[in-house]
Amino acid sequence: MFRKLGVLGVCAAIVACSGDPNQVILSCNAAQPPTVALGVGNYVSLDQTCATFPANASTTDSAEYLVVAQSAGGKPGAAAGYELRASSLLTASVVGPPMSAARTARPGGALAAQFDHYLRDLARSPAVVPPGERLDARAAVSAVQQVVTPPVVGGYRVFKHVCANLGCTTWDTVTAVVKAMSGHVAIYVDTLRPGDLSQADLDSLAQIFDQHVYAIDTATFGHEPDIDNNGVVIALLSGIINSLSPSATCFTSGYVAGFFFSPDLDIQVSSLYDNGEIMYGLVADTSTPPRYNSCNHPIASVKRLLPPTFLHELEHMISYTQHVRVRRPAPAEDIWLDEALANYAEELGARSYLAEGDTNAFNRYVLDNLNDAYEYLEAPQDHYLIAPDDQNLPSNGAGWLFVRYLMDQIGDTLARKLVNTALTGTSNISTQSAVPFETLVQGWALANWASDLPLPGFTPRPELRYKSWQFRQAFAALKARDTTGRYPVPFPFVPLVMAGAQVSVAGTLRAGSGQYVRVMQAPSAPTFTLVFTGPGSVPLPTTINPRLVVLRLR
């Protein structure tokens, strides 16, 4: 599941995002298109439909521009058809590269993605009363703080509503015993379906959960509410979680490694569920055949898999707490941003190991994010940033890249601001960063290509850089160690290349993402004009905030 990647380039510098006098908004007059006159390294953003590029005055050197036909906003899942063409062409006839085929999903796979989407939707829905229960005024949890009573190793607790299928329409009651504790984390193990982790394994996991999961997430995003007054987050390990992923599909559709269940914290119904801060995880199962009606899960694999899973799920728990419970009746965070922040949490957990010199753990923790980012960059025009769900791994990769870029530009304290608010989505980002979303997303789009571009004479501006990653080096490290063909090229991002007078691209703009074209202008080549419209030259809808972003490369 995990491969050693070697040490990836990491830079600790973080700078603030500032305004750029060279980034201007141009309007379009079809009779007199605005002229894009840029020095190398500068860029412009056009808010309408056409722009003229001046003749190349050099008789020996080509000019080159990176042109991004982008949706700089919109609601999750917003999309619209577009054409980008030279004005001498009547219509766009060349469609961008076809959508890349999805490679083998990460350990969670499609089944886990569907289940996670169900859980995130559940967090955005009205309170659901479990079967056999009834909701009344007394069901709401009291806001009065009680005396904190921590659990003790060897103590028992009954969990009455543990999801027993992917729709959580059937439930199992689990009696579990505290097997290990460390700081703010208690590991409970199902007494009937305990799995094969030893006491030493559980003690080790408890320490990792406390130091590399709980400490990282709470320092970054804030805290859970402690509604059960025990002073800890519970990690409940049970073979029931294994059985959510049947053996018939475990290897083809993936499996559920763990989750957070929002009704456990819903202020209206939590007392009818398990009324506490609980993360659910699978257990090691080395039996033949597997005893929990799923695939085998080796001990070493489970020990590697659970910490990053809980990093991810604890962010969801904290986000739900701060958005919905603390600031009720505020809505839960938009799925795409919630997922991006949870993936960012995984990266932070990785960096906590890097600070200790453990590059192998760092590489294991960041591999899923790098996989998803690789697949997004292979074909950004085919995927969303502002996605309607979290089931498309390349779109999840876009979300992680964008949040990583935000933290590099604004500062890592932004993460806590994004979680501790009633705002959601793009308005949350604009408000907490004090920078318009379209400015941020345009800078990010250019940074994906320009950040560490090894082009003589070109130096990206500060707002066009990732400060914490050199992705060309990171992806080249993946490629160098790949024996499966998963990473066919050292850097997956390969824009279309066209001469200015021959630009002709059509497709679909997806919210937050866009089509990239490297536009070449030969020595002494004349002026050319690009037109950016909807299909058949109709205006592009303002609902997707269309922008034509141009960066001069040489």
Task: Find the mean pLDDT for residues 318-335.
Answer: 93
Q: Residues near 34 by Cβ (< 8 Å), separated by ≥ 6?
A: 26, 27, 28, 46, 50, 51, 52
The yes-or-no verdict on residue 23 having pLDDT over 50 is no
Whole-number Å distance between alpha carbons of 180 and 212: 16
Q: What is the three-class DSSP state of 434?
A: coil
Please answer whether residues 180 and 200 qualify as being in contact, where contact means their C-beta atoms are separated by less than 8 angstroms: no
pLDDT of residue 391: 85
Whole-number Å distance between alpha carbons of 125 and 459: 47
If you write DSSP's letter for every residue of 465-519 in order, what string do you get? --SS--HHHHHHHHHHT-SSSS--SSS----EEEEGGG-EEEEEEETT-EEEEEE
3-state secondary structure 370-388: HHHHHHHHHCHHHCCCCCC
pLDDT in tens, 39-71: 999 999 987 678 899 999 999 999 999 999 999
pLDDT-derived band at 426 (thresholds 50, 70, 90) equals very high
pLDDT in tens, 439-475: 999 999 999 999 999 999 999 999 999 999 999 999 9
Whole-number Å distance between alpha carbons of 391 and 386: 13
pLDDT in tens, 328-386: 888 999 999 999 999 999 999 999 999 999 999 999 999 999 999 999 999 999 999 99
Q: 346, 311, 336, 465: which is closest to 394 by C-alpha?
A: 336
pLDDT of residue 119: 82
Structure tokens at 14: 């973080």
HSE-CB at 376 with a 13 A cutoff on CA atoms is 29
pLDDT of residue 474: 96
Strand partners, 240: none
End-to-end CA distance of the chain: 42
Average per-residue pLDDT in the chain? 88
Q: What is the three-class DSSP state of 461?
A: coil
pLDDT-derived band at 95 (thresholds 50, 70, 90) equals low
Strands 233-237, 278-281: pairing kind: parallel
Lowest mean pLDDT among 17-21, 194-198, 244-248, 317-321: 17-21
